Amino acid sequence: MTDVILPGATLGVLGSGQLGRMFAIAAARMGYHVHVYSPDSDTPAGEVSAREFTASYSDETALVEFAKSVEVVTFEFENVPSAVSEQIEKYALIRPSAYVLDVCQNRLREKSTLQNCGLPVPRFQPIRSVDDLESSLGQIGLPAVIKTASSGYDGKGQAVIRSRDDVDAVWKSLATDEAILEEFVDFECEVSVVGSRNPGGETAFYRPFRNTHTNHILDVTICPASLEPGVESRAVEIAQTLFEQLDIIGVACVELFVTRNGAVLINEIAPRPHNSGHLTIDAHVTCQFEQQVRAICGLPPGSVQQHSPAVMVNLLGDLWQTGEPDWASACLDPGVKLHLYGKSAARVGRKMGHITALGASSEDAERLAVESRGRLAGVNKQR
């Protein structure tokens, strides 16, 4: 195994959802083959990959077969058991490393690591009992946010504490023995910085994306993000430092809060491509998935130049609840790009696809994106 893996080689992905699907498409375009591994079959990524391994993450025989069939393995989601990484490392490269994955799998470990690296994070305290919670509120103050240390995503496993009267009920609702209490950040906006780094230390970072959420799920992403120049450069600088400190190889996303006084704080890290970076497929010279291929294969990064302002809106399973959406209606404007993930079952809150709109300005692109999605919802309501 060498640091440079050339087209014609086979790349492995742990996980087989939409991020794996878009990675496989980018890899195939560059002449690579992709094998995906997950407990599921007929998956979004499996549909466009050369081979789909369907087995439990505890199936050692299947994992070894998968690892031997590829030259490098990357991730499309971070909740892979650490034992899986250890097993695969015997036969193939893993990028990002098992260490990076381990850091990102636990919010308490993540925040502690970032703090030890001198990176800006909200004030926090470890919580392992209701007594810890009671005492830590005295240090953090109210309101505060409590999150399970692991297995949380899209707002799951967290709650806002606004009164000490809520403590017992909130702690019981989390049903965990390890959590993290964070100060409540009065932010002006949430942004994300997606970047890549190869084994030679070459990096590339997109301009920050501005994100808004609905019911804790990413709803709209805007780029350019209309940030003050100093805030934008600070966000990228933080991401650059984080990549170097953790020795990240591959693509990762740094999610950040921008406070009302212009401070930038890290919320969390995703050691993989990110939902907010999907607009790079249509709006940039090199998309985040091609950057992932380039980085894990030891190739130079592609250009992150943006062609035009762009806005992405997520398409959730809610849109299917009264019938199949009218896709032709969504595509009426030539500046609108439709991406569907090939998922067989549409459920409320499930990410089924996205729309990216390109416009003369961020405001123009946002109007196009929201109107296009609105036509889908409008059709559904009439049925």
DSSP string covering 147-165: EESSS--TTTTEEEE-SGG
- On whether the CB atoms of residues 368 and 336 are closer than 8 A, the answer is yes
- On whether the CB atoms of residues 76 and 20 are closer than 8 A, the answer is yes
- On whether the CB atoms of residues 205 and 194 are closer than 8 A, the answer is yes
The set of residues, in sequence order, having a beta carbon less than 8 Å from that of 361 and lying 6+ positions away, is: 309
79 Cα distance to chain centroid: 12
What is the pLDDT tens value at each position of the chain, 383 positions in all? 447 999 999 999 999 999 999 999 999 999 999 999 999 999 999 999 999 999 999 999 999 999 999 999 999 988 888 889 989 999 999 999 999 999 999 999 999 999 999 999 999 999 999 999 999 999 999 999 999 998 766 667 889 999 999 899 999 999 999 999 999 999 999 999 999 999 999 999 999 999 999 998 999 999 999 999 999 999 999 999 999 999 999 999 999 999 999 999 999 999 999 999 999 999 999 999 999 999 999 999 999 999 999 999 999 999 998 889 999 998 999 999 999 999 989 999 999 999 999 999 999 999 999 999 999 975 444 43
Burial of 59 (0-12, 13-18, 19+ CB in 10 A): middle
d(CA 3, CA 157): 38
pLDDT of residue 86: 87
pLDDT of residue 383: 35
- On whether the CB atoms of residues 331 and 353 are closer than 8 A, the answer is no
Q: Which helix (H) or strand (E) holds 179?
A: strand 179-183
What is the CB neighbour count within 10 angstroms for residue 72?
23
pLDDT of residue 162: 94
- On whether the CB atoms of residues 264 and 242 are closer than 8 A, the answer is no
pLDDT of residue 380: 41
d(CA 256, CA 258): 7
Work out whether strand 264-270 and strand 179-183 pair parallel, antiparallel, or are unpaired: unpaired
pLDDT of residue 1: 40
- On whether the CB atoms of residues 104 and 149 are closer than 8 A, the answer is no
The set of residues, in sequence order, having a beta carbon less than 8 Å from that of 367 and lying 6+ positions away, is: 359
The amino acid occupying position 110 is E
Residue where the block lists tokens 């249509």: 282
pLDDT of residue 256: 98
* Nearest one of 38, 42, 41, 39 to 12, comparing CA atoms: 38
3-state helix, strand, coil in the chain (%, to 5): 35, 25, 35
d(CA 315, CA 309): 20
d(CA 98, CA 87): 11
Residue-range domains of the chain with CATH: 10-94 (3.40.50.20), 123-183 (3.30.1490.20), 187-382 (3.30.470.20)
* Nearest one of 307, 313, 314 to 359, comparing CA atoms: 307
Global pTM value: 0.94
pLDDT of residue 378: 55
* Nearest one of 340, 344, 347, 342 to 320, comparing CA atoms: 347
- On whether the CB atoms of residues 187 and 256 are closer than 8 A, the answer is no
